């Protein structure tokens, strides 16, 4: 009798293993047929849903938080936006704050990156599916090894965040910040991942004149926003005899530097609220406000609602362009802006090739830049219209700022996020989600495959 029971159990185990093997094979084949953009879309959605579920647990909350606000927080964390409808520092327990931090980390360096890193540590190689996902998510050139790139990303991230946390701890402890160890870790990760989440109700306004905090947060944010490709490029250059940056890295460095310098100068000269500060503090506030929009980190040391319309328009521009590809920031990306500038210049000068910095831009990359820019406008326009429709009592300027901040995953606000209606919050959630997965990736994930491609006749359209 016992022998028969053991045989039945053995057969059941064998059948189960065979079923799982066949099921795994079918799932793998199914996933290989799906566009990587759709898998990235689904992966981020899963992490947001998981974070939402945990934040809804009473053990995660210091005070009762409604489910929609928990969803808003989870999406804002994974998208590394930083817009909040409730104060994270007072609304959530340590567990809730830890969940937010983990969501920020997963969203900042890509949810598939850590999984791929673990896989490489055990199997020493990546599956073709994971390679496709990573190459799509980070917009990697074909000559970059995905495996080596992911190792560099993870090590680079952890080292930079650790150094940043140590520096912030020294400054927070000296300033008498409560729970300085946890606060320094939280703000270091939040800064590098350009999330802008803060445990302080007024962000970093208490540190407006603190050179150490401003410098550390700025360095973390810039390193994260410029992109992992920069770190990869520099690392390859340092480990080889000849040091030569790629064209992409040169464009990112030059444009990021230009935006930071010009933006800081404009704010320094034209913002009366900042002009009233002492000269050193005025310079810090001007640079930090430019940095926080250019990198899309979303921290602030000066109240956004007090800024003049001219400075707000400048911030519109910087938030829309955003950070750089393969980095932790959002927005259209500096390289997209470069491609569009090249297109306009070449069209005006009637040149057949699209150039930027005297280098020809590949047609495929130009097409991606144009599609991203167009989809940005196509998504922003109806979303902004919905906000105007559902929030009739709020200023036009504040609503536009909120929409651009959400889709650019910036996280700055003119103070209206917490008072949005439920429909307004859902609209902002959609914008943050689209901003995280990437404007064009979001569109590809929602679109169906065109089966008629290549079968239609060409026509001339006057423009």
pLDDT, tens only, 376-388: 898 999 999 999 9
CA quadruple 197, 203, 207, 211: dihedral positive or negative?
positive
Tens digit of each residue's pLDDT (9 = 90 or more) over 442-457: 555 555 555 455 566 6
Residue 3 in any domain: the answer is no
Local confidence band at 6 (pLDDT 50, 70, 90 cut-offs): low
Whole-angstrom Cα distance, residue 410 to residue 293? 7
Phi/psi-derived region of residue 411, left when phi > 0, alpha when psi is between -120 and 50, beta in every other case: left
How many domains, in total, are found in the chain?
1
CB atoms within 10 A of CB 58: 8
- pLDDT on residue 15: 59
Helix (H) or strand (E) holding 360: strand 359-360
- pLDDT on residue 296: 93
Helix (H) or strand (E) holding 359: strand 359-360
Containing structural domain, residue 67 = 34-446
Q: 3-state class of 246 per DSSP?
A: coil
Per-residue pLDDT, averaged over 210-221, amounts to 96
Q: Give the CA-trace dihedral at 165, 160, 187, 270, to 10 degrees.
A: 120
Tens digit of each residue's pLDDT (9 = 90 or more) over 217-271: 999 999 988 877 787 777 777 777 666 778 888 899 999 999 999 999 999 999 9
Mean pLDDT of the chain: 84
- pLDDT on residue 310: 93
CB burial readout 357-371, b (16+ within 10 A) else e? eeeebeeebbebbee
Lowest-confidence range among 3-7, 112-116, 363-367? 112-116
Q: Is pLDDT above 80 for 100?
A: yes
Which of 144, 288, 106, 316 minimizes the C-alpha distance to 214? 288
Q: Is pLDDT above 50 for 24?
A: no
Residue 6 in any domain: the answer is no
Residue 457 in any domain: the answer is no
Lowest-confidence range among 30-44, 51-65, 140-154, 181-195? 30-44
Phi/psi-derived region of residue 227, left when phi > 0, alpha when psi is between -120 and 50, beta in every other case: left
State percent of the chain over pLDDT 90.
Answer: 52
Of the two residues 427 and 454, the one the predictor is more confident about is: 427
Tens digit of each residue's pLDDT (9 = 90 or more) over 408-426: 999 999 999 999 999 999 9
Tens digit of each residue's pLDDT (9 = 90 or more) over 266-308: 999 999 989 888 988 999 999 999 999 999 999 999 999 999 9
Of the two residues 137 and 95, the one the predictor is more confident about is: 95
Per-residue pLDDT, averaged over 154-158, amounts to 86
Task: Give this prediction's pTM.
Answer: 0.85
Residue 458 in any domain: the answer is no
Residue 8 in any domain: the answer is no
Lowest-confidence range among 95-99, 147-151, 330-334, 454-458? 454-458
Query: Which alpha helices (DSSP H) does 271-407 contain, by range?
Result: 272-275, 279-294, 309-321, 334-348, 363-390, 396-407
Q: Is pLDDT above 50 for 26?
A: no
CB atoms within 10 A of CB 25: 10
Whole-angstrom Cα distance, residue 364 to residue 343? 13
Of the two residues 436 and 4, the one the predictor is more confident about is: 436
Residue 176 in any domain: the answer is yes
Of the two residues 196 and 9, the one the predictor is more confident about is: 196
Q: Is pLDDT above 80 for 1?
A: no
Lowest-confidence range among 13-27, 180-194, 315-329? 13-27
Q: Is pLDDT above 50 for 120?
A: no
CB burial readout 315-334, b (16+ within 10 A) else e? bbebbbbbbbbbbbbbbbbb
Non-local (6+) Cβ contacts of 241 within 8 A are none
Q: Is pLDDT above 70 for 458?
A: no
Residue 20 in any domain: the answer is no
Per-residue pLDDT, averaged over 384-403, amounts to 95
Local confidence band at 30 (pLDDT 50, 70, 90 cut-offs): very low
Residue 230 in any domain: the answer is yes
Q: Is pLDDT above 50 for 27?
A: no
């Amino acid at each position: 009798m016992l022998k028969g029971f053991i045989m039945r159990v053995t057969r059941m185990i064998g059948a189960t293993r065979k079923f799982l093997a066949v099921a795994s094979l079918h799932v793998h084949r199914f996933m290989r047929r799906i566009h990587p953009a759709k898998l990235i879309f689904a992966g981020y959605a899963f992490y947001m849903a998981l974070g939402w579920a945990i934040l809804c647990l009473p053990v995660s909350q210091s005070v009762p938080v409604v489910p929609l606000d928990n969803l808003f927080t989870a999406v804002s964390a994974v998208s590394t936006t930083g817009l909040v409808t409730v104060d994270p520092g007072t609304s959530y327990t340590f567990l809730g704050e830890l969940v937010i931090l983990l969501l920020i980390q997963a969203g900042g360096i890509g949810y598939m990156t850590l999984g791929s890193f673990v896989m490489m540590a055990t199997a020493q190689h990546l599956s073709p599916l994971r390679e496709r996902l990573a190459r799509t998510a980070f917009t990697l050139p074909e000559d970059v090894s995905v495996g080596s790139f992911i190792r560099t990303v993870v090590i680079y991230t952890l080292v930079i965040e650790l150094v940043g946390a140590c520096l912030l701890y020294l400054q927070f402890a000296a300033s008498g910040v409560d729970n300085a160890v946890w606060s320094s870790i939280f703000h270091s990760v939040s800064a590098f991942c350009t999330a802008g989440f803060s445990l302080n109700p007024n962000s970093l306004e208490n540190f407006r004149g603190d050179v150490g905090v401003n410098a550390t947060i700025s360095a973390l944010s810039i390193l994260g926003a410029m992109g992992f490709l920069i770190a990869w490029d520099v690392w390859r250059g340092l480990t080889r005899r000849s040091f030569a940056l790629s064209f992409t890295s040169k464009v990112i460095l030059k444009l990021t530097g230009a935006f930071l310098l010009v933006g800081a100068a404009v704010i320094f000269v034209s913002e009366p609220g900042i002009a009233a500060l002492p000269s050193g503090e005025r310079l810090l506030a001007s640079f930090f406000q430019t940095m926080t929009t250019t990198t899309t980190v979303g921290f602030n040391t000066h109240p956004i609602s007090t800024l003049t319309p001219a400075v707000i328009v400048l911030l519109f521009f910087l938030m829309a362009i955003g950070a750089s590809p393969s980095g932790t920031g959002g927005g259209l990306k500096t390289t997209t802006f470069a491609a569009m500038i090249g297109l306009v210049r070449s069209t005006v000068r009637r040149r057949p090739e699209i150039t930027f910095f005297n280098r020809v831009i590949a047609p495929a990359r130009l097409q991606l830049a144009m599609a991203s820019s167009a989809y940005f406008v196509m998504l922003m326009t109806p979303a902004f219209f919905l906000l105007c429709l559902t929030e009739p009592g709020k200023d036009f300027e504040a609503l536009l700022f909120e929409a651009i901040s959400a889709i650019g995953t910036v996280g700055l606000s003119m103070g209206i996020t917490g008072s949005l209606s439920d429909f307004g919050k859902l609209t902002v959630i959609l914008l943050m989600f689209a901003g995280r997965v990437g404007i064009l990736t979001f569109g590809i994930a929602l679109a169906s495959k065109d089966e008629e491609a290549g079968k239609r006749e060409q026509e001339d359209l006057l423009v």
